């Protein structure tokens, strides 16, 4: 019987984070065990984004409470962008923690490793992500 690697098992739906705090903890834990790369991180963010978009507006403010750092500034910026995106979608004010300086990147991060994709990411990145210096194509944030 084949055993899944820690990274693969940590990404199974029954282990998926449901809040930004849980997501930050999952990212931090996987990074500490050297089981995290950008592809895995984006997949985790996408899963939580999808869940939060489906959450009732009155519940979403609890799910986007201030998470501790993920341990990686790029992912912390994504968490801030996701909090803003969900807040705007549900008609809430953006939580203050999402606008702190450590939630913005300099230099910018183009998520795709392919230079040809930078133009697409620059053009398509949702506003909260682009504002924080995270350039990712909109379709990369959508579940397939």
Q: 115: which strand partners?
A: none
DSSP 134: E
pLDDT of residue 119: 93
Phi/psi zone of residue 91: left (φ > 0), alpha (ψ -120 to 50 degrees), beta? left
Please say if the pLDDT value at position 144 is more than 90. Answer: no
Mean pLDDT across the chain: 84
**Greater confidence, 25 or 61?**
25
Domain boundaries, the chain: 7-141
Q: Angle of helix 73-90 relative to helix 38-54, nearest 10 degrees? A: 20
CA 124 to chain centre: 16
Q: Which position has the token pair 């903890």? A: 25
**Greater confidence, 106 or 1?**
106
pLDDT of residue 38: 87
Give the pLDDT mean for 27-45.
87
Contact in structure between 65 and 19 (CB atoms under 8 Å): yes
pLDDT of residue 34: 81
Q: Say how many Å lie between the first and final Cα of the chain, rounded.
A: 29
Share of the chain above pLDDT 90, in %: 53
Number of Cβ atoms within 10 Å of the Cβ of 77: 24
Q: What is the pLDDT of residues 61-97, one digit of tens each?
A: 777 788 989 989 999 999 999 999 999 998 989 999 9
Give the pLDDT mean for 115-144.
93
């Amino acid at each position: 019987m084949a055993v899944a690697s820690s990274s693969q098992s940590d990404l199974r739906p029954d282990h998926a984070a449901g809040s930004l705090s849980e997501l930050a903890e999952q990212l931090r834990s996987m990074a500490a065990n050297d089981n995290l790369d950008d592809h895995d991180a984006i997949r985790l963010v996408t899963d939580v984004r999808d869940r939060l978009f489906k959450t009732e507006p009155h519940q979403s403010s609890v799910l986007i409470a201030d998470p501790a750092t993920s341990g990686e500034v790029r992912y912390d910026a994504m968490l801030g962008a996701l909090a803003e995106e969900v807040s705007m979608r549900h008609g809430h004010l953006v939580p203050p923690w999402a606008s702190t300086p450590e939630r913005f990147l300099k230099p910018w991060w183009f998520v795709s490793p392919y230079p040809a994709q930078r133009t697409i990411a620059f053009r398509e990145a949702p506003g909260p992500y682009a504002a924080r210096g995270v350039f990712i194509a909109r379709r990369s944030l959508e579940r397939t």
